[in-house]
Structure formats: C-alpha cells, structure tokens
Chains A and B, each alone.
Chain A
Amino acid sequence: MSVAPEKPPREGKGAGRRIRRKSSLTSHGEPMVWLTGASLALCLVMISGLLGLVVYQGGRTFWPQEIVQVETLTGDVLMGQVSRVDTFTPSADALDALPDEARVRVEADMRANEGSVARRMLRTENFDLTGTHFDWIEESVIAAETKPEWAVVVERTAKGRFYGVPQAFLVDGEAHTVGSAATWGKFEEHHARILARVEQIHDLERDDLGHINSRIERQRLALREVELARGMESPEWIAKERETRALVEDAEREFVTITDEIGRLRTINDSFALRFETAGGGTAIVSLANIVRGTPVNRIGTAGKWSVYFDRWWEFLTADPREANSEGGVWPALFGTVMMTLLMTIVVVPIGVLAALYLHEYAKQGFLVGVVRVAVNNLAGVPSIVFGVFGLGFFCYIVGATIDDLFFGARLPNPTFGKGGILWASLTLALLTLPVVIVATEEALSAVPNSMREGSYACGATKWQTIWRIVLPRAQPGIMTGAILSIARGAGEVAPLMLVGAVKLAPDLPVDLGTFPYLFPERSFMHLGFHIYDVGFQSQNSEAAKPMVYTTTLLLIAIVVLLNFVAIAIRARLRRRFLGART
C-alpha cells in the first residue's frame, strides 16, 4: 500500500483547498481486492475439490489392483484387493479375543501410535463360500504377505467377484488341463467362444422370445378390443378367438424351438468350468459361462492393466447393469438420461421462447404482466419434488389415464400411459425448467436494441415478421444460453423423476428399433442421477458399490458438461452467423 506523499498546499488560489488524506481503510481499496479475490479463491477451491474428488475416485474404480494374500497370526489366510486403509482404536473386548502373540503386537502398535491401530480393508469376496465381501485386518496381526503370481480376479455374472488361483480346466467335470499357466491358457482359448454363446442366448431370449411374447400380447389385446366392442359371444369375437388360439399354438411351437436352442447352447457352455484354489486352501468350481472377465492381475503388467482398465470402462458405458446395479454397465441409464434431457429440451425451448415472446413483445406492459413475470420467476424457486408430485398427479394419473381410457382400453387395468414414463418425466422436467428458459429469453429479447425493431417496422414489416427476421436471430445466442441452463438443470434433476418414471432397472430402452412402433414414450427408464442414489444407498453390497457411485457421478458430470458444450458450440456458431465478423 502506497500512500501518496503529502503535497504542499498550492500558492494563491489553491491555498484554502482542503488536503485530502487517505486516512480511512475503505479509501484504500486494497482490502476489497483481497476480500473479493479471496472469495473467488474459496469458490475455486471448493469447485476444484469437488471435481478432483469425483475424478480421482471415479477414475480409479476400474483400475485393476494387485491381489495380496495375507496370513494372520490367528492362522487365517485371506486373499483379495486392498480397498481402504485407515486407523481405529480397538475395544478392550476385541483385544482380549485376540491370541496372545497378536495382542502383544497390537498393544505395542497402540502405544506407538497414541492408542490407534492401522488396519486395512481387504476385498475378499467369494461371497458364496465365505458369506462376506470385505474383511478388516489389523496391520500388526499380519504374519506374512505374498502376491501369488497366478491369483485371478474373476468378475462373475452373479454372486459378485471371485478371487482364486486356477488349478484345472474342467470339461464335463473332468480335469482336462492341470496347472495354473496351462489352465489359464485354455481359459483364454475358450472364453471368447463361450461369451459369444452367452450373447447368443441373451439375444434369443430378449429378441426372439420377446417378439413372440409381444406378438401374443398384441393378439390378446386385439381379442380384448373385439370383446369390448362386440361382446364375448359375438361371431367376430369367436372368429378372433379362434385366430388367437391358432396364433398362440403357433407361437408356442416357435417358443419351444427357441427354448431348445437356448438349452442346447447352455449345455455346451456348462460343460466348461474352471477349478480354483481359494485362499483358505479349499477349491471352488466356476462355470466359464458365469465369468464375465478373468484377470491374473499380478502377472499382466502395466500395459495389461491399462487394457483391462479401458475394457472395464467400455463395459461400464455399453453394458446393462449386473448384480443389483453395483457391477456391470450403465448403458440404459446413460441412454435414458440423454434421451430424457433431449426430449425435455425439445419441449421446453419452443414453449418457453413463445411464452417469453408474448410476455415481452406482444403483451401490454402493465400490472398483470408484472404479476405473471414474478410468478414465473418464483416458479424457478419451487422445490423440484413439487413438480414431481404435480407430474405424477397430472401427467400420469389424469392425462395418462385419459389416454389409456381412450386408446388403450384393452390393456386395462394395466396402465400404459397412466404411470410413470419417459414422456411424462420429460414433460415434468420441461415444466421445471420453463422459468429458466423464459427468463433467459426475456433477457435476450430486452438486449435486442429497439432501433432494430423500429428499423424493421419502418420498412413495413409486421410485428411477427420483425420478431422472426430481426428479433429472434439477434436474441438467439441468449435463447441458447437459456437452453443450456435448462439442460444443466434438467439433466441433474433426480427427485421429481423418482415419482414420474425413473426406475431401478429398465433394460428395455424407450427406443427399440426391432419392435414396432420403435418409440415407447410410455416406458419407464433408468437415469444416472437415480442410479447413483440407488447404487449408493439401496445396494446390499454397499462397500463394493461405493466406487461405482463415484464413477457414475463422474459420468453424469461428463454428460452434463458434454451436453453443455454441444449447446455452447451451437451458440458460438449462431453468434458468428448473426453478428458478423466484428464480434
């Protein structure tokens, strides 16, 4: 802080002038620079802390950690991956329960570390054998620690992960190959083919059987429609009934063919299995068809680990969830989130822009318009769950139920539109983000200079021509800003969705290019935001689900950022187009 040197009072005219000294703190200005700068720094720290945590935790989820095998002083042998390290203070009871040697070491540890003991959490899994997923081990009770060369992490389609050392490759229950290296070679040789068969079974179940089912369902609905229109014993109904029975018989024959094929594929797959040696010295047999991915982590080296890492990311982005959502991918949720957000944007932007146009361009500015404007602004502050309740009560139960009554009477009492679905969710969120678009558009319209409008009117343009040709193009970047804000708000919203259609598991996407009519706006959907909540708090294996929470959060952030970037890019293009070279 520099204080200006005191100037001597000027001679003559200026003699009586009051000399201004920088006496007060506020007159210096620097403190305010510090205060404002510090506030900004605080904001940056918080934001980067949030992003840093999510990126770090979410980014390392899929990194294949090495497997350690530890032997404790109590004689337990555990094999698994270290998932956490911390310190704790053991209770007296727990200390007493330890064998003498272990207790002495723990107590020594406690004395050295002010009463606390270091421990690590080992992800041991093999839930079907041990009944646990994780085990805590005090560092001081570890007698020996090794990294078995052939320890393998097996990601299974059910029952969680499996840790073990491969012993033998079984064909039809007979040991075909023995020895870790040879067994693993056989596994890698056969696994791809078996996965292809699993995929084939999946396709048969989902597509072929699904199509037969939907065909039967459609026929039943047609029959029911005839029944509702003509009565049960009418000749039309009897004809339809006969047709239905023929079709169902036909379908059942097809059904049996497909089921046989599935059974055949299953039998082939089931003949291959691996025998593992587990940490405790026991053996366990895992069918190859149940193995999604097997990784001999301690052997593969850095390049191999990166390959597994990206492979897992790919699975995460493209596969359906497994294991109550805590494993596998989030593709349906990803798709649901993006589709719902786009649907919402398509609905909210035109409506919001038109409403703002009326408010700003057509309506006579007065008390009533002021009231409407305040009401719209306040709408932005209403808790989102309120919109969820409204969406459920209005869209699902009134509009949806009416649509069901009018067009889907045959399916009743099963609701078609009269329940939560992606369409209603999009409309609910559109309503939620409407104020954002209206406010942003009004601001953009205010920013269009009146001289532009006057110039257009003076050329003999009508109001609408002026709006369409002059005002809207000029306001377009501002309107895009509104759209961006609404996307950001809508994509991250969860609470209302839980009421109007987001569900825990919905592998059937709202778009199905294989089934007429291809678009199913009435279907429930998965949403990343809801998925985070579900995985984090509704999962049985919450410790294993925790990394997935971070990863899904990272993905959600990435999606929102990506959608925003797309919108920003469009806005920049529009700016260049409409505002010329100078801007």
Chain B
Amino acid sequence: MSDLNPPTDPERMKTQLPARATRPRNADAKPAASGAEKTRARPGGLFECIAEGRQFESVVHPDAGHDEAVVEIVDFRLWYGETQALHDISFSVPKGKVTALIGPSGCGKSTLIRCVNRMNDLVDSVRVEGQMKLNGDAIYGKGVDVIELRKRIGMVFQKPNPFPMSIFENVVYSLRIDGVRDRHALEEVCESSLRGAGLWDEVKDRLKDSALALSGGQQQRLCIARAIAAEPEVLLLDEPCSALDPIATGRIEDLIDDLKGLYSVLIVTHNMQQASRVSDNTAFMYLGRLVEYGPTETLFLSPSLRETEDYVTGRFG
C-alpha cells in the first residue's frame, strides 16, 4: 500500500485533489482492495461490538505515523459526568498536513478536537484520562498553563463567531491580549493574516467596520485569519463549513488547501467529500472510539475494515 502513501509535497497534493475527490464515490463499485484484512471485523459487526462496549483494536495504518507528530494523542479517555464519551484514543497528527476527523454525529469528533486546546475545561463535569502532547509538551497535567497552551493553538468553530468589534481588532485580538500596542506590527500581522485567509482584497478598505457586517463565509474566513494571526503550531477546525453555503464552503476548502504545509491542521467534518478533498490523513470515529486511522486515500479507497468502507461510501451513517 506504499503507493497510496499521501505525498508530502503540498503543491503536488493540490494537483491531485480533483481526481481524488471523485474517487470515493466509486469505491463500492470496485472489488474490495484488501479482503483479507476485512475479515478482522468481529462476527456480528464491529459497530455492535462497540455499542456493547466490548474491547477492540483500532486500526492505525502504519503509513500515517511516519511524519513528525505535532499533536500526539495517547490512550485518551473522557467522561461527561458518568458517561464516557471517548475511549482509549491514540493517534498522532502529523506536522504540516491536514488531518480530518470523520464519523457520525455524536461520535466524539468535536469533543476530541476541543480536548486539544482544552476547551472542555470550560465544562464543569468533564474528566479526562490519558495524555495529549503538543510538539512533545504535555497538554494535560499539573503545571500546564492552559492560557499559554491555547496561545500555541488556533481554533475555528462551527458557527462563525467574530467578536463585536472592527475587522482589524478581530484579526489582531490575540496580539491585543498579549499587550502588543505597536500599531505598525499590528497592521502588518492584520494584513498578512487576512491575506493568508484570502480575505484581504475584500475587506482592506473597511478594516474599521464592524466584523458583524460581513457575510457568513467572510466571517468564517475572518475567524481563520484571527486563528492564524497568532502563528499557531496547530490549527483546529471544528466543522468550519457546516453553517456555510456551497460557494463559501468551496472557498474555505481552497483556503485549507493553501494553508497546508504552512500550518498543521486538524479538521472535524461531516462531509465525506470534504474530508477526501482536503485531508492527507483521516481518522474515522464511532461512538467515542477511533475505528480506523490512516492516509486519506487508503481510508477512502481500501480501508481495512468493512465498517469504514460502509461509512465512507455512505452505506452507513
């Protein structure tokens, strides 16, 4: 399967995208690529097995682990009160690439991504076990400064959430809270971030206007500009296109493509095509468990598990 290993060069990657995007649709028409591996599924089906809470092994394709990890997740478990929402999740997010989290609603994708920058700390009843590491530094544990940690991570949410202030102030927010007052530096960061988010040409003449006057898609790109203004080590995108129309979605996807290589991206998405179009690696989750994780092409074209194939081809979920 080494020929399916995702290319590391972002430029090459892009050229391949359109072709790749159409392929998963035809996946069920092809004979199973690795029939032998699929027999690993338990009798009665893996989903039933997970639903009953029995032990099982996540399938992690070795090709996904070659690159240097920016975020490493080790045996991560999470409870909301008494309910366990994440079970023994282990995988690593490679540096400079886009990693997609897919799975049906309620499978814990968003919960997992919100654990990376500890947004779940805001929920009183949450309890976690296991560890996550950001470039080798523990994310959980005593002595971790959550504020400092979050400064190293950018995040974009489902619904665009620009702050009720001007476009300019929105972009430089993370610098403002660090106490940066140098007008020149702020303007520089504002321009480069807005250019990075592909919004500069649209808003350069009205940076003083309220950010709330922008359209939904522009607001979401503004949020991305805000996230990359702090030069984050990893960018978390939690279903960034779920509240947008197809055209705005397309622009965001192009933008994610552009960000590839510059930033490490972890994206949650409901949209299989989106995952296949933009990501290098994909992790499929179900009911709080990691089912299969590997290069996107492998996962979409020749997954090891029948359940993964069912999900990515739309027969399930």
Contact = CB atoms under 8 A, between A and B. Distances in A.
Nearest to A583: B212
Given A456-B173, A459-B150, A469-B176, A582 B161 contact: no
Nearest to A452: B161
B174 interface: yes
Contacts of B153: 458
Given A460-B147, A460-B150, A473 B165 contact: yes
A453 B154 CA distance: 14
A364 B161 CA distance: 25
Interface in B131-165: 147-148, 150-155, 157, 159, 161-165
A470 B163 CA distance: 7
B117 A455 contact: no
A581 B209 contact: yes
A582 B159 CA distance: 18
Given A469-B177, A580-B211, A460 B230 contact: yes
B219 to A, nearest CB: 11
Contacts of A446: none
A461 B212 contact: no
B134 to A, nearest CB: 13
Contacts of B122: 453-454, 457
Contact of A459 (B174, B210, B212): B174
A300 B210 CA distance: 60
Contacts of B152: 460
Contacts of A465: 177
B152 to A, nearest CB: 8
Main secondary structure of the interface of A (DSSP, over half): helix
A465 B148 CA distance: 14
A541 B154 CA distance: 76
The bracket for how many chain A residues form the interface is 20 to 34
B163 A452 contact: yes
Interface in A457-480: 457-462, 465, 469-470, 473-474
A572 to B, nearest CB: 15
A360 to B, nearest CB: 14
A580 B209 contact: yes
A454 B212 contact: no
B227 interface: yes
A449 interface: yes
A450 B157 CA distance: 11
A459 B177 contact: yes
A459 B230 contact: yes
A150 B227 CA distance: 86
A474 B164 contact: yes
Contacts of B211: 580
B226 interface: yes
B213 interface: yes
Contacts of A453: 122
Contacts of A454: 119, 122, 157, 161
A466 to B, nearest CB: 9
Nearest to A366: B124
B302 to A, nearest CB: 36
A579 B174 contact: no
Contacts of B177: 459-462, 465, 469
23 contacts: A451-B161, A452-B161, A452-B163, A454-B122, A455-B157, A455-B163, A457-B150, A458-B153, A458-B157, A459-B150, A459-B174, A460-B147, A460-B178, A460-B230, A461-B147, A461-B174, A465-B177, A469-B173, A473-B164, A578-B165, A580-B212, A581-B210, A582-B212
Interface of B: 117, 119, 122, 124, 147-148, 150-155, 157, 159, 161-165, 173-174, 176-178, 209-213, 223, 226-227, 230, 236
Which 7 residue pairs across A and B have the least CB separation, nearest first?
A580-B210, A460-B151, A458-B155, A451-B161, A580-B212, A460-B150, A455-B161
